[in-house]
Amino acid sequence: MSDTARTNGSGIAPRLSGTVRIVGAGLLGASIGLALRAKGIDVVLSDTSPAQLRLAIDYGAGRAAQGDDAPALIVVSVPPDVTADVVAAELDRFPDAVVTDVASVKLEPFRALKERGIDVTRYIGSHPLAGRERGGAISARADLFIGRPWVVCRDEQTRPADLALVEALALDVGAMPLEMTPEEHDSSVALTSHVPQVVASLLAGRFATADEGALRLAGQGVRDTTRIAASAPELWVQILGANAQPVVEILDALADDLREVSDALRAPAEPGARRVVAEAIRQGNDGVERLPGKHGQNRRFEQLVVMVDDTAGQLGRLFGELGELGVNVEDLRLEHSPGAQFGLAEISVAPAALRGAIDGLQERGWRIAGATNE
């Protein structure tokens, strides 16, 4: 392979070399394949579904397996309930390869392999914290992992060279590798991923029988809160079942919090009731403050809300004029009011840039609906 192909014309060589075998050509598997192929890495795809496999190959995520393939690294990207089975089969079939998986739970597959007496020296569980509501190879993207955490779970048997191989995979697709134990990983994703999915689904479930008039009032807040409720039930049954204990602990604590607030609201004029509600909201403020922002920092930005006419090119013009003003857009959220011919663009900027952005946009004829501190 030429140097140009190996670097994809960027001048930066990939960290991985040799062949990477990906078992499971769905969203994550095909996205990994697309990202690695963009760097000129030889990718072999395997999937139990011939149609899914052909589709991923057609999209350029890799090639079909051949009898003489000798992969250095194998990435297992299958549902959690069959992850341990597939990892065991790959370890047996390719005795010289390092095997990782990208399942969203890490402790159960590791325990299952150990209980079967399988040598897990060459197995390193991992998990990219990236995804989409839609699945399958048709939804795969080469940039899916850019800037996202990729947890790598080592143990006392992990060899440094094998660990480096899995971390190189994460780096080559643009992710940020983080080391955790399987226990640390599963308790962490229970809090930041699995319980939020349950909460979003339960809240969105209230809409199924809601009055149509009430749903017309839905704004961006409720859409943000329930966005992930569109996820596939079949996959989440597996994920939640495999990580049940830490999820249950958090749900029980959350249920206690909800009960305390609901009890306070049963008699909101009673002494102490308002304090309970206020403390619940304040604690939420404190929690949001701890969430990493842009580039993983806890830095806070200020927001201005700009009214944007619902016509072609307006959003591009807004960005262009912010650029002319020297204002960097740190984040963007769009909201459309039902029946209105305009949208609201909530733009996050550095605090020092807020006043200049407001004045400059108003001078150019933009309507500012508001400005707030996050």
| 22 strand-pairing partners | 45, 75
pLDDT tens-digit map of 220-260: 788 889 988 988 899 899 999 999 999 999 999 999 999 99
Q: Please state the pTM of the whole predicted model.
A: 0.75
pLDDT band of 337, cuts 50, 70, 90: low
Q: Please report, for residues 77, 197, 245, the alpha-carbon distance to residue 103 in angstroms, rounded to integers and kept in the order given.
A: 7, 16, 17
Per the prediction, the chain carries an average pLDDT of: 89
Stretch among 34-48, 310-324, 340-354 having the lowest mean pLDDT: 340-354
pLDDT band of 134, cuts 50, 70, 90: confident
Report the C-alpha gap between 136 and 287 in whole angstroms: 34
Tokens 């990729």 identify what position? 150
Is it the case that residue 176 has pLDDT exceeding 80? yes
